[in-house]
């Protein structure tokens, strides 16, 4: 249930500043380390491009990598604190990106409320922590920013 890779990526973005802001009410959907390590393309790589074999200057590579990370982290942050995830569509910090929350038909009646929902394409929430500035949900997969 470790999520340190997500936080390592987040630390490299301006998005991380709001994590420390107690007045910013947030919901974080942090993928497990296992989910991030299973990605064929890591968050800093972004989506595959047809001209990927063409060499680009290091500065441009750094800029693109930082933007890819910002987009990826932002897709995992909802700009409101949701101790109970509402069914439907929720906007993330990434412009134009919303995520879907649906009922998990396989969740048992004794499951906690946050265990009774699926995020996006069937991602399960494996853990939940409440903080002064919001809620952290641990996901067994990642949210695609694209």
pLDDT, position 1:
56
Alpha carbon of residue 77 to chain centroid: 6
Superfamily of domain 4-139: FAS1 domain (2.30.180.10)
Question: What distance in Å separates the CA atoms of residue 104 and residue 102, rounded to the nearest whole number?
Answer: 6
Q: Can you tell me the mean pLDDT for 77-93?
A: 93
- Among 1-10, 98-107, 123-132, 134-143, name the one with the lowest average pLDDT: 1-10
Question: What distance in Å separates the CA atoms of residue 21 and residue 72, rounded to the nearest whole number?
Answer: 20
Task: Write down the pTM of the prediction.
Answer: 0.89
pLDDT above 70 covers what percent of the chain? Answer: 96
- 98, containing H or E segment: strand 98-103
Paired residues of 138 in beta bridges: 30, 127
Q: For 50-77, how does the pLDDT look when each residue is reduced to its tens digit (9 = 90+)?
A: 666 677 788 888 888 899 999 999 999 9
pLDDT, position 54:
72
Question: What distance in Å separates the CA atoms of residue 53 and residue 137, rounded to the nearest whole number?
Answer: 37
Paired residues of 137 in beta bridges: 29, 128
pLDDT, position 50:
61
Estimate the crossing angle of helix 4-11 against helix 58-74, to 10 degrees.
Answer: 130
Specify the higher pLDDT residue, 97 or 109: 97
For 41-94, the DSSP string reads S-GGG-S--TTTTS---HHHHHHHHHHHHHHHHHTTEESS--SSPPSEEEE-SS
Q: For 117-138, how does the pLDDT look when each residue is reduced to its tens digit (9 = 90+)?
A: 999 979 999 999 998 899 999 9
Q: Residue 19 above 80 pLDDT?
A: yes
Specify the higher pLDDT residue, 88 or 54: 88
What are the structure tokens assigned to 58, written together?
């290091």
Q: Can you tell me the mean pLDDT for 14-24?
A: 85
């Amino acid at each position: 249930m470790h999520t340190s890779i997500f936080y390592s990526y987040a630390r490299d973005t301006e998005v991380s500043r709001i994590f420390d802001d107690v007045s910013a009410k947030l919901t974080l959907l942090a993928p497990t380390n296992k989910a991030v390590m299973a990605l064929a393309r890591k968050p800093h790589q972004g989506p595959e491009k047809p001209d990927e074999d063409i060499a680009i200057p290091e500065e441009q590579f750094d800029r693109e990598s930082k933007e890819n990370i910002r987009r990826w982290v932002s897709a995992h942050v909802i700009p409101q604190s949701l101790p109970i995830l509402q069914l439907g569509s929720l906007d993330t910090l990434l412009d134009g990106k919303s995520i879907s929350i649906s009922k998990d038909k396989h969740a048992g009646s004794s499951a906690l409320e946050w265990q009774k929902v699926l995020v996006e394409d069937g991602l399960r929430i494996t853990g939940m922590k409440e903080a002064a500035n919001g809620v952290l949900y641990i996901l067994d997969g990642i949210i695609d920013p694209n």
